[in-house]
Amino acid sequence: MVPRSIAACQTATSDPLRSSEREPAWKRDLAEAYRDAADLLAALGLRPEAIPDLDPAESGFRMLVPRAFAALMTPGDPRDPLLRQVLPLGAERLTVTGFTRDPVGDTSADLGHGLLRKYTGRALLIVTGGCAVHCRYCFRRHFPYTALGQTPDRTAAAVASIAADPGISEVILSGGDPLMLDDDRLGALLERLHEIPHLNRLRIHSRLPVVLPSRVTETLCRRLSGSPLASVLVIHANHPSELGADAADALRRLRHADVTLLNQSVLLRGVNDAAQTLGALSERLFECGVLPYYLHQLDPVEGAAHFAVPDTQALQLGEALRDRLPGYLVPRLVRELPGRGAKTPLNDAARIGSPFL
């Protein structure tokens, strides 16, 4: 167990809150993110013609890529696995049977106020629709954030619903990305949750420590470290190249703040569909103090079918990882099926009638 310490956060040279009078660095970094495919490609020394299926119209899902994440891409490589995750393609416009706008049944699990109840003992709270990066395979790219997302009144009602249900022991903050809330807004929400006596754990799902490491501020570390709830942060990295020096520093600071760090990945064609890549990802995560948690088969969201890896290949990859890695570095290969109370191991999917096997 790493001892609780805020020193790593306080001494980090990348801390964005050096002055209360200045805008946090992570917000400045986000404001400077790439929002145009041509600009991103130019920065990588690529011409648009190098991407034959490039979709300048972005299929109604605009591009957003932090410069820190783009800096990890290989210049001149149109097949870079990080670039592939964020570049809008014409393939997103294809209609593919089985790929829908609500692939995991979020809307049917909504209890109102952006509070989703899918799993026993856990409640998932959609705290924002914003993200720092727009991943083209995002399972919530069509989510009705306006109707189901958060406002102050909805947040208050959601917290009241959690407080009224003693069967809930863990709250999962999701989005969008919950770390898009600034430290004050996030802190205010955490204080409300801390007052609920039957809560034991706080879980946050976020891609920001990977794609926008400057978001890991001294204040964020301090609030998570000082929480009476056990804090778990599930990051989202799909490829070892995503975990550069800045992300590694951010993750180590979180771990020194006594935050349990897990990772979930999505199996993506052309990105990480090789045992060597997935094995290197697990090793790099461990170097950063993060344990692999889930390797998800792609949620069949409309616009992402070109990322799909056949289940037979996915199962072979899972077996290859078990052969080459210690058990604690092998993520659980799962699929989320609507209406089920837990993620389904992929090798059990056929037994319960998964349509993808």
Segment 323-352, tens digit of pLDDT: 999 999 999 999 999 888 789 999 876 555
288 is an annotated ligand-binding site residue: no
Question: Domains of the chain: which residue ranges?
Answer: 7-15+24-348
In whole angstroms, what is the distance from residue 260 CA to residue 231 CA?
A: 6
The residue-averaged pLDDT of 140-166 equals 85
In this structure, are residues 210 and 236 in contact, taking their beta carbons and an 8 Å threshold? yes
Q: Which amino acid is at 204?
A: I
**Strand pairing class (230-235; 201-206):** parallel
What pLDDT is attached to residue 34?
A: 98
**β-sheet bridge partners, residue 264:** 294
In whole angstroms, what is the distance from residue 2 CA to residue 260 CA?
A: 10
pLDDT-based confidence at residue 81 (cuts at 50, 70, 90): very high
Question: Which stretches within 95-178 are classed as H helix?
Answer: 106-109, 145-148, 152-163
The residue-averaged pLDDT of 314-318 equals 97
pTM for the structure as a whole: 0.90
Q: Looking at per-residue confidence, does 16 or 291 come out higher?
A: 291
How far CA 209 is from CA of 66, 247, 248, 294, in Å, comes to 12, 6, 9, 18
What pLDDT is attached to residue 352?
A: 52
Query: What is the CATH topology of the domain spanning 7-15+24-348?
Result: TIM Barrel (3.20.20)
Phi/psi at 60 (nearest 5 deg)? 75, 5
In this structure, are residues 27 and 130 in contact, taking their beta carbons and an 8 Å threshold? no
